[in-house]
Structure 1
Amino acid sequence: MAVQIENLGSLDRKMTLEFARADLAKAHETRLAKVGKTMKMAGFRPGKAPKSLVEKQHGMQIDFELQYDKAAELFYEQAQKEGLALAGQPRFEPKSQLKADTVLFDVYFEVLPEVKIGAFSQAEVTKYSTEIGEAEIDRALDVLRKQQVHYHPRGEAGAHGDGGTDTSVQNGDQVVIDFVGKIDGVEFAGGKAENFEYVLGEGRMLPEFEAATLGLKVGESKSFPLSFPADYHGKDIAGKTAAFTITVKSVNWPHLPVVDDGFALSLGVIEGGVAKMRAEVKENLDREVKRRITSLLKNEVMDKLNSLCELDVPKSLVASEQERLVEDARQDLMQRGVPNAKDAPIPAELFAEQATKRVRLELILSELVKKHNLAVTADQIKAEIDEQAATYEDPKEVVRWHYSNPGRLKDVENLVLADNVIKYFTSQAKVNDKAVTFEELSKLN
């Protein structure tokens, strides 16, 4: 047996393997006999075909498989002996004839790169903080109230009142209108509708359209010009001005539920009324703040790691990651019910940049874990699962759900690993603390 390794680039290698075909003779006979026991051939009982006929029909395939198996065995033995850290799967190319006395293989592969860790002490990151007070709780409750909004005709008395003496359209009202639009005197596609319903202030219609509707009463009409933006989604009318006429058919004012014990009950707060509801809203907001702050810090740390560390990225790992991202995209399309999503062409090149960044980070994190003993422990995984489970009605069931699936456990492990890396990085880098409001935090990318 002979082995030769060539350096083809920063990470690319070629290993040439040479071994005698005679070394496979015993294995060939064993496999031939095994195939012969189950082989069916006309004129012979199952497993009773002559050895020569078995050889004639299956001998070349057996030779092919044994030579590849032997080459793979020698390759991995030599890789281990040389201390080669392999990246991705090797590619085996036979260089000799199948029946040649000497078997030659070229094996092309990549090795994992050396990761040069930069000086974290020179890096700066921002750690945000946010306090949840009564105002934030009130705003959250307003959102929940709007989710339960219902409408009553303006001017008609009901259990919730009549909406006031002013029966004209106001911001926040739900209106039903007929409209027709023309460009240069000609109606255009999508420019006409009857009994069209929308709520003013939700941004569904262009601002000029809503402004023209304000102040009208049931039965009243109004004509006005409307200029479509140059980037309007309807390309045929983008940048053009249309003459619209609208007629109001109904005006309904919004009634929001009062924040009382009944409202709390509608949100699932069985006991404790408004006070318990506000406490639960604060808990949810605190959880959201923690999640958001952690996510922002994680993204910034990962970006810093990417810029501070130097390494060559193995092409084979990037290609594998691209394939995984393509499959994720395909599964997403299928879940959305997109027709023919299973066979839709999705170019892997679309994910080249994303895949490269992910592979870089994985290699950097792997080096940091090894170099600074940041490996995840079973206790850390348990603590993370327990914390997640505590937010559910049946924590024990959530814990069981996590531990019943290796994939879910792996997701938790990756989450804790990122936390370990973030803690180490921030212990070395300069951390700038910055207090922001909940609204400001929500807008940060």
Structure 2
Amino acid sequence: MATAVETLGKLERRITISFPLTDVRTEVEKRLKVQARTAKAPGFRPGKVPLKMVAAQYGYQIESEVLNDKVGRAFNDAANENNLRVAGFPNIVAKEEAAEGQLAFDATFEVYPEVAIGDLTAVEIDTVQADVSEAEIDKTIDILRKQRVHFHTKGEAGEHGDGGEPIAANGDRVTVDFVGSIDGVEFPGGKAEGYAFVLGEGRMLPEFEAATLGLKVGESKTFPLSFPEDYHGKDVAGKTASFTITLQKLEWAHLPEVDAEFAKSLGVADGDLAKMREDIKVNLQREVAGRVKARNKEAVMDALIKVAELDVPKTLIAQDSERLAEMTRQDMAQRGMNVKDVPFPAEMFAEKAERRVRLGLILSQLVGDNNLQATPEQVKAQIEDFAQSYEDPREVLKYYYSDRRRLGEIEALVLEENVVTYVLGLSKVTAKAVAFDELMGSNAQA
């Protein structure tokens, strides 16, 4: 039996559930008899253990199971009878005071909110668009060349030349010994032998690189170096040290020529440079399309949050905060980080969780009101699009269709795209061109 629903707040409700104690005892006894059929105990054959011994061993566990089952069933029945859409899980607490021969429990819970979405035709949304030009292809080729760089001793003649005068210059890889001191005293981390870095990449402080420029192998230089106030080494931050460096090795960078061999190294079997450029263009266009889609989706989601009015269930925020905390822990562990004793308080993720839950409720309302569910054809097309960048597209299809959870992730993605398309079709959209470099430097995620 359940009492009438009490309203405790905008979304918070309470129901009191009660049922006869005899019902619990009867069900416990019934389950104990079933347990006794297979129970084992020293000195007894299986199934011949006295019921009192079975009750002593399993009684508490079975009684808890019976109570959980009865309370859960009664709560679900009450929620259905009152047409309640329960958000998350109820908090169920036993009541100290109950009618004689009865057990009573208070179930406190939240319900899903009403979602009021404003006039989408009045919403203004700025979207972006970008193109892939020949300049972007050239830049990408330069990056690919630098990824395949190899170094040769500077000043020594070889297959690719000698690299010019054997003096340290930007782009060269230098190997140095160095020692630093503050007020004549060496400090931890201020000394190294055989330390290699490429001049001009900014790995070292500017004064260190400047002192290295122009050195020849075997030469040394002593110079002052001022550590920034915000330097990561707190013991030396803001202080000035005296460094002595000695150049032990000097190498110049040889970038591979853009020729047939270079094209083959990128997977173009016949070494055709035109095909190589076309492949790079296609890949860049796919990356640009993905980034543009992410930026525009973010703009739509921001607009929906502003135009929709709703109260967000705290229960759902707490659950999603826990989920985000666990996902972060797993992600860091997969990256090889030791997070065994690192705390991940759910409160850290509350703001992000609140946005995710809010958007989920808004999207659910839009999808239901406007029939924007993902169709099987859309899901298949999305998977096939993913599969284009893999050697065996059939394996990608098999990967998703063999697991309902993976397929659900694609369905959710398509659903979001349906919402984005729907909202952009109604709202006032202003599209602006964005520079390739700016777009590729962004990581918009809804």
Residue number in structure 2 paired with 1:375: 373
Distance 1:408 1:103 in 2: 43
CA distance 1:242–1:100, change in 2 (3 Å):
same
1:95 offset after TM fit, Å? 2.1
- CA RMSD in angstroms comes to 2.3
User: Could you tell which deviates more after superposition, 122-131 or 173-182?
Assistant: 122-131
Residue number in structure 2 paired with 1:229: 228
Query: Residues 96 and 103 of structure 1 are in contact (CA less than 8 Å); yes or no, is this contact kept in structure 2?
Result: no
Residue number in structure 2 paired with 1:429: 427
1:264 offset after TM fit, Å? 0.5
Corresponding residue to 1:360 among 334, 358, 377: 358
Distance 2:337 2:155 in 1: 46
1:53 offset after TM fit, Å? 6.3
Answer yes or no: is 1:74 the counterpart of 2:74: yes
Q: How does 1:119-134 map to 2 (within 5 A)?
A: 119-134=119-134
1:39 offset after TM fit, Å? 3.3
Amino acid at match of 1:310: E
Distance 1:186 1:123 in 2: 65
Distance 2:82 2:112 in 1: 14
Aligned residues: 443
Amino acid at match of 1:299: E
1:268 offset after TM fit, Å? 1.6
CA distance 1:213–1:356, change in 2 (3 Å):
same
Distance 2:325 2:434 in 1: 38
Query: Residues 177 and 245 of structure 2 are in contact (CA less than 8 Å); yes or no, is this contact kept in structure 1?
Result: yes
Corresponding residue to 1:406 among 392, 404, 407: 404
Residue number in structure 1 paired with 2:321: 322
Distance 1:66 1:212 in 2: 78
Q: Gaps spanning 5+ residues in structure 2: where? A: none
1:396 offset after TM fit, Å? 0.8
Answer yes or no: is 1:388 the counterpart of 2:389: no
Query: Residues 228 and 238 of structure 1 are in contact (CA less than 8 Å); yes or no, is this contact kept in structure 2?
Result: yes
1:329 offset after TM fit, Å? 2.0
Query: Residues 64 and 98 of structure 1 are in contact (CA less than 8 Å); yes or no, is this contact kept in structure 2?
Result: no
Residue number in structure 1 paired with 2:439: 441
Answer yes or no: is 1:186 the counterpart of 2:218: no
- Secondary structure of 2:176's partner? strand
Q: Deviations over 1:258-301 (max 9, x none)?
A: 00111111122102521111110001110110011011111222
CA distance 1:217–1:111, change in 2 (3 Å):
same
1:26 offset after TM fit, Å? 5.4
Query: Residues 36 and 47 of structure 2 are in contact (CA less than 8 Å); yes or no, is this contact kept in structure 1?
Result: yes
Residue number in structure 1 paired with 2:244: 245
Distance 1:440 1:61 in 2: 61
Distance 1:278 1:24 in 2: 75
Residue number in structure 2 paired with 1:259: 258
Amino acid at match of 1:401: Y
Q: Gaps spanning 5+ residues in structure 1: where? A: none
Query: Residues 230 and 239 of structure 1 are in contact (CA less than 8 Å); yes or no, is this contact kept in structure 2?
Result: yes
Q: TM-score, normalised by structure 2?
A: 0.92
Amino acid at match of 2:108: Y
Residue number in structure 2 paired with 1:159: 159
Query: Residues 300 and 423 of structure 2 are in contact (CA less than 8 Å); yes or no, is this contact kept in structure 1?
Result: yes
CA distance 1:24–1:154, change in 2 (3 Å):
closer
1:348 offset after TM fit, Å? 1.5
CA distance 1:40–1:427, change in 2 (3 Å):
same
1:171 offset after TM fit, Å? 0.9
- Secondary structure of 1:271's partner? coil
Residue number in structure 1 paired with 2:7: 7
Distance 1:249 1:21 in 2: 87
- Secondary structure of 1:156's partner? coil
Distance 1:245 1:61 in 2: 73
Distance 1:349 1:185 in 2: 48
Q: TM-score, normalised by structure 1?
A: 0.93
Query: Residues 86 and 112 of structure 1 are in contact (CA less than 8 Å); yes or no, is this contact kept in structure 2?
Result: yes
Distance 1:26 1:224 in 2: 89
1:18 offset after TM fit, Å? 2.6
Amino acid at match of 2:379: I
Distance 2:162 2:51 in 1: 98
1:98 offset after TM fit, Å? 10
Q: Deviations over 1:237-267 (max 9, x none)?
A: 1111122222222221111000011111112
User: Could you tell which deviates more after superposition, 35-44 or 355-364?
Assistant: 35-44
Distance 1:241 1:391 in 2: 52
Residue number in structure 2 paired with 1:33: 33
Percent of aligned pairs with the same amino acid: 53
Distance 2:216 2:62 in 1: 88
Query: Residues 261 and 271 of structure 2 are in contact (CA less than 8 Å); yes or no, is this contact kept in structure 1?
Result: no
